[in-house]
Each structure stands twice: as structure tokens, then as C-alpha cells.
């Protein structure tokens, strides 16, 4: 597969645009539980916020977990939980335990 010749700055801009689209999509899809994302994809909104925080810290910018989560969730995490998070089903928990053990 051939890739177009894209300079580093443009690559960064494209990656940032894709990231913003992903975050917007996850905010819109509050019906999709983090545990389902973990079970299907191996990452969730919390993972994404942790990666964001780690990237900030790698560049010398301190960012607390609650602040990183608010960037990803679009609101404080506790507020998102109260509005959208459901209790995980036994099936979801079992699938998570099986995937975590692998």
C-alpha cells in the first residue's frame, strides 16, 4: 500500500483532527459503556484520558487525572458517571475478567 508523501506538520494536524473526531464521537455515544469498549477494543475513555495525561507529562505539562478525564468526557467524570454509567452486567464483568486474564 502506497502512502502519500505527507510532511510531519501535516501528519500531526491530521492525527489531531482524527483524535478530536474520536473524542467527539465518544461524547456523542454515551450509550456505549466503557466496559463494553474494554471488552471489544481493549481500551476505553479512561484509557484515552490516561494516554492524554501521559503525553502532556512527557512534554513537561502537568495534568491531573480529573482534568484529563474532563477533556475526554466533556464534563467532570463524576457528572458523566451520574448521567450515563450503568451498573455492569454479570456478562460484562465476566467478559472483562476473561480479557484481563489473557
pLDDT of 85: 94
Instruction: Kindly state the DSSP code that residue 86 receives in the 8-state scheme.
Output: P
Give a yes or no: residue 6 inside a domain. no
Average pLDDT over all residues of the chain: 94
Label residue 99 by pLDDT band (50, 70, 90). Answer: confident
Label residue 77 by pLDDT band (50, 70, 90). Answer: very high
User: Residue 2 above 80 pLDDT?
Assistant: no
pLDDT tens string 41-65: 999 999 999 999 999 999 999 999 9
CATH number of the domain that residue 38 is part of: 1.10.3340.10
Give a yes or no: residue 60 inside a domain. yes
Q: CA–CA separation, 38 vs 34, rounded Å?
A: 6
> Nearest Cα to 44, choosing from 23, 65, 62?
23
> Nearest Cα to 74, choosing from 37, 48, 56, 51?
48
Rounded mean pLDDT, 73-101: 93
Q: Which range marks the domain in which residue 73 is found?
A: 32-101
- The answer to whether 102 and 96 are in contact (CB under 8 A) is no
Half-sphere exposure of 32 (CA within 13 A, CB side): 15
Give a yes or no: residue 25 inside a domain. no
User: Residue 19 above 80 pLDDT?
Assistant: yes
What's the total number of domains in the chain?
1
Give a yes or no: residue 22 inside a domain. no
Give a yes or no: residue 38 inside a domain. yes
Give a yes or no: residue 48 inside a domain. yes
pLDDT of 32: 95
Give a yes or no: residue 76 inside a domain. yes
Give a yes or no: residue 2 inside a domain. no
Amino acid at each position: 500500500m502506497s502512502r502519500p508523501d505527507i510532511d510531519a506538520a501535516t501528519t500531526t494536524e491530521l492525527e489531531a483532527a482524527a483524535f478530536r473526531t474520536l473524542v467527539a464521537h465518544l461524547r456523542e455515544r454515551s450509550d456505549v459503556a466503557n466496559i463494553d469498549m474494554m471488552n471489544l477494543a481493549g481500551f476505553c475513555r479512561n484509557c484515552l484520558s490516561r494516554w492524554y495525561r501521559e503525553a502532556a507529562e512527557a512534554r513537561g505539562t502537568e495534568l491531573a487525572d480529573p482534568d484529563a478525564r474532563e477533556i475526554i468526557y466533556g464534563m467532570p467524570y463524576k457528572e458523566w458517571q451520574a448521567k450515563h454509567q450503568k451498573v455492569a452486567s454479570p456478562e460484562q464483568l465476566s467478559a472483562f475478567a476473561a480479557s484481563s486474564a489473557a
